[in-house]
């Protein structure tokens, strides 16, 4: 009996020593396993082992080089691309990073050689790629203002043209539903103010509706008449519809080339002569390329794409440079419209140039002649003041925006603004509203739990966690929840 117990404790001690040894040397063990699989040509297992070694702090030059070589020689899936981009953008300057950068640079050249005529760099919305994931893309008319049939037909024809020119890679379905992807409204009279620049009028505009990084819908609003009460001609509506539909497909910028449909103002001669514009090869190529990029914001999950945004657009600095250039071009063409100033401000915010952003937004506010635009300005002012630490002015602009439209994004910035002011009760109110309104959003839930934990109110924190898991059972084993598992016991 004593001998058996001695053997048992001996085995237990050995296992414990092995566990301690593995814990202290795990990074090196995974590295060695990775090297072994690397030599055997087992790419999948080698990559897995190297990644575990990296997660435990192993950043040896040779290990990183082997890892990059494996990725470069593996199928260039989205996953492989994202891993190479991560190496290319990390803070470790070594041969592995250089190899990753060089490979991605050549891959980027191949892509643009395949699509030589494109203006994809102007596509992002707030530095993010937006487009639909599910086909067909549905559209509907709402509040048409008794528009003549020929106006409706002109817009329908524009949808048909995009479908035809894309060789039906993009296709639409006209429906009678408030839940359509693209919602079109036609206003009898232009909004108050003076929506003109030079001799041109704003015939239409498109705005996205985004919630929790999901694309809910695109809203296109047409004006049926100009400010002098002259009705726009069908071809003018058709030309404008071609432009706005591309916005509704996710291209949120403008081209610098007058020949392209996404040039910021349609061709004056075509307007005066009532001539139909044609989609150019660059327009079609840009659309095709856009829908091959993995989006940051879409309406579907688990879809397959060919490229990560980095490969097509470059890094965040390149994207922001393009958007600043585009916004300044917009302002030079239309100094009396607020849109260019808003776009420039958003680029400055991405660049952390908040003072410059506030100046642009104040200019945009002075030019704003409708509540939709004012809402955007107030929201961005709130964000800018928040980041420079002026929480009082941030709150003022949040309240101004709420008077126009009560939105999820306003409640989020409001919650964070209250936290900065140490007003946890109001922050809790805002996050409770968000958790109830968007119960699938794990970030809102975690932020609320953290507030309760910091206040040592573990009972409430536990309730929030349990309710979230009940409503989202698929998240039960999420890594995001691992730090909070103790609260569930």
For 154-183, the pLDDT digits (tens) are 999 999 999 999 999 999 999 999 899 999
Interval 334-340 mean pLDDT: 87
Q: Is residue 35 part of a domain?
A: yes
Nearest in space to 435 (alpha carbons), one of 470, 405, 402: 470
Confidence check: pLDDT of 258 > 60 = yes
Q: Are 281 and 117 in contact (CB under 8 A)?
A: yes
Does 227 share its domain with 183?
A: yes
Position 181 scores a pLDDT of: 96
Does 287 share its domain with 160?
A: yes
Give me 300's structure tokens.
């579907």
pLDDT digits (tens, 9 = 90+) for 125-141: 888 999 999 899 999 99
Nearest in space to 218 (alpha carbons), one of 233, 207, 202: 207
Position 238 scores a pLDDT of: 95
**Count of CB atoms within 10 A of residue 311's CB?**
23
Which is more confident, 414 or 370?
Answer: 414
- Which residue among 62, 82, 116 closes a domain? 116
Position 197 scores a pLDDT of: 39
Confidence check: pLDDT of 53 > 50 = yes
Q: Name the band, by pLDDT with cuts 50, 70 and 90, for residue 267.
A: very low
Percentage of the chain exceeding pLDDT 70? 90
Does 106 share its domain with 23?
A: yes
Confidence check: pLDDT of 7 > 60 = no
Q: Is residue 221 part of a domain?
A: yes
What is the residue range of 444's domain? 440-489
Q: Are 111 and 103 in contact (CB under 8 A)?
A: no
Residue whose token pair is 């524009």: 158
Which is more confident, 392 or 269?
Answer: 392
Does 88 share its domain with 192?
A: no
Position 190 scores a pLDDT of: 58
3-class SS of residue 130: strand
Q: Name the band, by pLDDT with cuts 50, 70 and 90, for residue 266.
A: very low
Alpha-carbon distance of 323 to 256, in angstroms, equals 12
Which is more confident, 46 or 193?
Answer: 46
Q: Is residue 132 part of a domain?
A: no
Does 392 share its domain with 376?
A: yes
Structure pTM? Answer: 0.77
Q: Is residue 190 part of a domain?
A: yes
Position 5 scores a pLDDT of: 53
- Which residue among 313, 344, 364 closes a domain? 313
Q: Is residue 122 part of a domain?
A: no
Position 256 scores a pLDDT of: 86
Percentage of the chain exceeding pLDDT 90? 59
Position 171 scores a pLDDT of: 94
Position 194 scores a pLDDT of: 45
Does 181 share its domain with 44?
A: no
Instruction: State the first-to-last Cα distance of the chain, in angstroms, to the nearest integer.
Output: 38
Q: Is residue 81 part of a domain?
A: yes
Q: Are 289 and 278 in contact (CB under 8 A)?
A: no
Does 303 share its domain with 353?
A: no
Residue whose token pair is 């839940």: 179
pLDDT digits (tens, 9 = 90+) for 76-96: 999 999 999 999 998 889 999
Which has the minimum average pLDDT: 186-195, 222-231, 453-462? 186-195
Does 381 share its domain with 427?
A: yes
Domain count, the chain: 4
- Which residue among 116, 150, 181 closes a domain? 116
Which has the minimum average pLDDT: 322-336, 448-462, 475-489? 475-489
Q: Name the band, by pLDDT with cuts 50, 70 and 90, for residue 199.
A: very low
């Amino acid at each position: 009996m004593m001998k058996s117990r001695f053997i048992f404790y001996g085995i237990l001690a050995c296992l414990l020593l092995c566990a301690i040894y593995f814990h202290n040397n795990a990074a090196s063990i995974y590295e060695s396993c990775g090297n072994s699989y690397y030599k055997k040509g087992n790419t999948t297992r080698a990559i897995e082992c190297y990644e575990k070694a990296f997660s435990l702090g192993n950043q040896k030059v040779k290990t990183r080089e082997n890892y990059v070589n494996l990725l470069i020689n593996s199928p260039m899936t989205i996953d492989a691309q994202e891993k190479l981009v991560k190496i290319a953008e990390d803070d470790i300057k070594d041969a592995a990073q250089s190899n990753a950068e060089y490979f991605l640079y050549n891959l980027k050249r191949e892509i643009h050689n395949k699509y030589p005529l494109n203006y994809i760099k102007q596509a992002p919305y707030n530095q993010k790629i937006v487009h639909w994931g599910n086909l067909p893309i549905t559209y509907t008319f709402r509040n048409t203002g008794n528009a003549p049939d020929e106006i409706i037909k002109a817009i329908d024809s524009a949808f048909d043209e995009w479908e035809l020119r894309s060789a039906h890679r993009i296709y639409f379905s006209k429906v009678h539903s408030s839940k359509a992807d693209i919602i079109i409204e036609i206003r009898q009279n232009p909004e108050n103010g003076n929506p003109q620049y030079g001799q041109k009028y704003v015939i239409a505009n498109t705005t996205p509706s985004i919630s929790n990084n999901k694309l809910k819908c695109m809203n296109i609003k047409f004006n049926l008449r100009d400010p002098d009460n002259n009705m726009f001609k069908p071809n003018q509506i058709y030309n404008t519809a071609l432009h706005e539909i591309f916005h509704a497909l996710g291209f949120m910028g403008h081209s610098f080339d007058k020949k392209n449909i996404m040039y910021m103002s349609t061709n004056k001669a075509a307007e005066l002569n009532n001539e139909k514009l044609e989609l150019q090869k660059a327009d079609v190529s840009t659309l095709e390329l856009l829908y091959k990029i993995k989006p940051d914001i879409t309406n579907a999950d688990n879809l397959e794409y060919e490229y990560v945004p980095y490969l097509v657009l470059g890094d965040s600095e390149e994207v922001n440079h393009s958007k600043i250039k585009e916004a300044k071009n917009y302002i030079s063409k239309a100094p009396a419209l607020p849109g260019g100033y808003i776009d420039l401000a958003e680029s400055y915010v991405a660049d952390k140039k908040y003072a410059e952003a506030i100046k642009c937004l104040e200019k945009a506010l002075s030019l704003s002649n409708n509540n939709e635009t004012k809402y955007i300005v107030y929201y961005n002012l709130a964000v800018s003041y928040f980041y420079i630490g002026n929480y009082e002015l941030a709150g003022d602009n949040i309240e101004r925006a709420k008077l126009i439209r009560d939105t999820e994004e306003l409640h989020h910035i409001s919650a964070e603004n209250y936290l900065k002011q140490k007003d946890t009760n109001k922050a809790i109110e805002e996050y409770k509203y968000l958790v109830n309104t968007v119960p699938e959003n794990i970030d809102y839930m975690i932020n609320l739990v953290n507030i309760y934990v910091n206040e040592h109110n573990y009972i409430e924190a536990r309730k929030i966690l349990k309710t979230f898991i009940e409503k989202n059972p698929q998240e039960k084993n999420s890594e995001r929840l691992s730090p909070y598992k103790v609260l569930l016991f």
